[in-house]
Amino acid sequence: MTKFVIKGGKKLEGTLPIKGAKNSMLPIMAAAVLSSSREDIELQNIPAIVDMQVMTKILQSLGAKAKFAQNTLWINVRDLQNYTITEELMQEMRSSIFLMGPLLARFGKVRVTYPGGCSIGPRPIDLHLKGLEALGARIREENGYITASAPRLHGTEIHLDYPSVGATENLIMAAVLARGKTLIYNAAKEPEIVDLQNFLNALGADVRGAGTETLRIRGVESVGRCTYRIIPDRIVAGTYLMAAAITGGRLLLEQIIPEHLDAVVAKMKEAGVELVATADSLEVVSSDLRAVETLHTLPYPGFPTDLQAPMMALLTLARGESKVTESIFEARFRHVDELKRLRAQINVEGRTALIRGVEKLSGAEVQATDLRAGAALVLVGLAAEGQTVVHNIKHIDRGYERIEEDLGKIGAEIYRV
Ligand code: EPZ
């Protein structure tokens, strides 16, 4: 099994460009299924990450053609003829659930299995299924498969019990070809949903309101093709800013959208990190880490749950006691035990972790349990004295394109072995 070997203690210094957002790319790749064009759809700024390869494999299993080169992905869905996603593919990546809405809209039928829970919690899909039923789908469950069918979906009003990112995206895509108007209340407001709206409208759909809690989708007869550049990845950007801060280094991130990180920048400043923003860049200038009284993860525009683990890594070296509450997922503290192996002082009570800052961390052998926990372990490895070995780094490759090359470019001693 591949692992990262990290020699800690190097200050990171330099400039990095940030690639496209994984959590924009995945729903947008699924949305390509809606197109009745016979031509390629061209997606630019696509990161070469494992999740892109898996979603490509799933689209190909349905009959689509896909080609990837130099961070551009061409998808052709003219020969799409399959609306069943195999159990094996569903288990490989939970985001395959994003295909339910588009496949149902295109074929009037879709068969999937429950996506695997993962190490951050059970990950139910009740809000997805309830919304599809409201749009007129008949949902049946038989021997592990969920079958949704509808001769044609019809517009409706949906009130989401929770602003679920995935459910919001799935239902927008299902509503694009429905007959009539759909309103979605209490929708998620993440920037990736605005990106999906812009992509769908570039195909010829009529979606309004993304970024607010109320969405209006006017169904159209069909949508075509487009060339579209996805937004930069705010979670990768936040992770790299924290890597610079934890090593006391200096890092300029270019080609990003700073306002997507407003809550993250505010919390990092509170933790003693000096940050400078321009219209399309953010720079960590210096850090004198101090504890933050409280940090709650929240739906956007609050502090993102995907940066909770990397931020906790930073706080292990921040003078004083910090309190971190994970409000989004039931079990997103798997990184705590691993951080403690490096001598971090953390106590977990339910959904809250108390972190008491220490003077120094000591390198150790640790396991990545999920994507962002793995990123957090790389961060503490960069700051810990001695050598840290991070195992199970396939989790990290799901969402970071060759993280060791990026960090190596700015002075980190990190090797994939
Ligand atoms: C998306 O997951 C992201 N994934 C996650 O990023 C991110 O952590 C999450 O949104 C929250 O921002 C992608 O976009 C591919 P949710 P998603 O539906 O859609 C509960 C990463 O590291 N819920 O907003 O699954 C759910 O259990 C990944 O890049 C229901 O109860 O998140 C969770 O507690 C991890 N019923 C909460 O809502 C449902 O039907 C938030 O989930 C759906 C969700």
Average of pLDDT values for 85-113? 95
Question: How far apart are alpha carbons 161 and 268 in whole angstroms?
Answer: 31
Give the pLDDT confidence score for residue 115 in this predicted structure. Answer: 85
Which one, of 398, 403, 242, 396, lies nearest residue 308 by Cα? 242
Confidence of residue 116 (pLDDT cuts 50, 70, 90): low
Average of pLDDT values for 275-299? 98
Say if CB 257 and CB 280 are below 8 A apart.
Answer: yes
Question: How far apart are alpha carbons 399 and 219 in whole angstroms?
Answer: 33
Average of pLDDT values for 68-92? 96
Amino acid letter, residue 75: I
Between the CA of 192 and the centroid of ligand 1 the distance, in Å, is 13
Tokens, residue 218: 């006017």
**DSSP class of 46:** -
Q: Which residues line ligand 1 (CB under 6 A)?
A: 22-23, 26, 95, 121, 123-128, 162, 164-167, 188, 305-306, 328-329, 371-372, 399
Give the pLDDT confidence score for residue 117 in this predicted structure. Answer: 57
Instruction: Report the residue among 25, 96, 158, 164 best suited for mutation to probe ligand 1: largest number of ligand atoms under 8 A from its CB.
Output: 164
Instruction: Report the residue among 193, 231, 328 best suited for mutation to probe ligand 1: largest number of ligand atoms under 8 A from its CB.
Output: 328
Instruction: Report the residue among 29, 94, 125, 165 best suited for mutation to probe ligand 1: largest number of ligand atoms under 8 A from its CB.
Output: 165
Given a cut of 80, whether residue 374 has pLDDT beyond it is yes
Between the CA of 12 and the centroid of ligand 1 the distance, in Å, is 32
CB-based burial label for 75 (10 Å; 0-12, 13-18, 19+): buried
3-state SS track over 181-193: EEEEECCCCCHHH
Tokens, residue 386: 């001695």
Give the pLDDT confidence score for residue 387 in this predicted structure. Answer: 98
Q: Whose CA is nearest to atom 7 of ligand 1?
A: 306
Given a cut of 90, whether residue 121 has pLDDT beyond it is no
Question: How far apart are alpha carbons 40 and 49 in whole angstroms?
Answer: 21
CATH of region 22-229, choose from 3.40.50.1220, 3.65.10.10, 3.30.450.40, 3.40.50.620:
3.65.10.10
Between the CA of 363 and the centroid of ligand 1 the distance, in Å, is 32
* Residues catalogued as catalytic: 118
Strand partners, 113: 145
Give the pLDDT confidence score for residue 291 in this predicted structure. Answer: 98
Give the pLDDT confidence score for residue 119 in this predicted structure. Answer: 74
Q: Percent of the chain scored above 70 by pLDDT?
A: 99
Average of pLDDT values for 137-145? 92
Say if CB 178 and CB 200 are below 8 A apart.
Answer: no
Q: Whose CA is nearest to atom 37 of ligand 1?
A: 328
Cα 30 to Cα 41, 59, 98, 263, 337, distances in angstroms: 12, 8, 6, 29, 36
pTM of the model as a whole: 0.98
Mode of pairing for the β-strands spanning 41-44 and 281-287: unpaired
Question: What is the average pLDDT score of the chain?
Answer: 97
Tokens, residue 355: 């972190």
Question: How far apart are alpha carbons 104 and 83 in whole angstroms?
Answer: 8
Say if CB 150 and CB 181 are below 8 A apart.
Answer: no
Average of pLDDT values for 50-74? 98
Cα 336 to Cα 40, 119, 313, 322, 414, distances in angstroms: 45, 13, 9, 14, 22
The string of pLDDT tens digits covering residues 150-160 is 999 999 999 99
Question: How far apart are alpha carbons 108 and 293 in whole angstroms?
Answer: 51
Average of pLDDT values for 113-125? 79
Average of pLDDT values for 89-105? 94
Given a cut of 70, whether residue 314 has pLDDT beyond it is yes
> Beta-strand (E) ranges in 209-289?
214-218, 227-229, 250-254, 273-278, 281-287
Average of pLDDT values for 389-415? 98
Rg of the chain over CA atoms, in angstroms? 21
Which ligand 1 atom sits closest to the C-alpha of 127? Answer: 40
Q: What is the largest CA-CA distance in the chain?
A: 64
How far does the chain reach from its first CA to its final CA, in angstroms? Answer: 9
CB-based burial label for 298 (10 Å; 0-12, 13-18, 19+): middle
The string of pLDDT tens digits covering residues 245-257 is 999 999 999 989 9
Structural domain boundaries in the chain? 3-18+232-416, 22-229
Between the CA of 88 and the centroid of ligand 1 the distance, in Å, is 21
Given a cut of 90, whether residue 143 has pLDDT beyond it is no
As separate numbers, helices (DSSP H) first and strands (DSSP E) second, the chain gives 14, 23
Which ligand 1 atom sits closest to the C-alpha of 51? Answer: 15
CATH of region 3-18+232-416, choose from 1.10.260.40, 3.40.630.10, 3.40.640.10, 3.65.10.10:
3.65.10.10
Give the pLDDT confidence score for residue 118 in this predicted structure. Answer: 67
Which ligand 1 atom sits closest to the C-alpha of 399? Answer: 29
Q: Matching CATH topology for 3-18+232-416 and 22-229?
A: yes
Helices (H), 162-315: 165-175, 191-203, 234-246, 262-270, 308-315
Residue 141's CB is within 10 A of a number of other CB atoms, namely 11
C-alpha 360 chain-centroid distance: 31
